[in-house]
Amino acid sequence: MSTIRQAIKDLLQEQPLSALELSQRLSISEKEVLGHLGHIAKAPGPGQRFHILPSVCNICGFTFKKRDRLATPSRCPICRRQSIRRPRFQITKE
Ligand SMILES: [Zn+2]
């Protein structure tokens, strides 16, 4: 478990990735990735900062700025479409 979590941290220090992209790179489920991300978000490590790059509606461009949840929102509150770009995650040094 800790190895996977470390692998996620290493990937997110290189570039921002969505949970889906992480799941594909590590060959684990997206749900499992989200579980690890929950822990990483609370404790990214000494000198590290965890960022969430918000979801964006593909239709009208609405940005889900206030949302700090890890999962992808199901529907846009403005245009009510369901084409939402997944949030991406990143770890930077403080
Ligand atoms: Zn929209």
CA of 72 to the centre of ligand 1 (A): 14
- Residues facing residue 57 across a β-bridge: 84
| Gap from CA of 43 to ligand 1 centroid (Å) | 32
Q: What is the rounded average pLDDT for all residues in the chain?
A: 93
| 71 CA to centre of ligand 1 in angstroms | 17
Q: What percent of the chain has a predicted confidence (pLDDT) above 70?
A: 96
The string of pLDDT tens digits covering residues 6-19 is 999 999 999 999 99
- Domains in the chain, please, with CATH? 2-93 (1.10.10)
Identify the pLDDT of residue 71: 82
Exposure pattern of 19-46 as b/e (b: 16+ CB <10 Å)? bebbbeebebebebbbbbbeebeeebee
Task: Tell me how far the alpha carbon of residue 62 lies from the centroid of ligand 1, in angstroms.
Answer: 5
Per-residue pLDDT of 48-80, as tens digits, reads: 999 999 999 999 999 998 766 788 889 999 999
For residue 90, the model assigns a pLDDT of 97
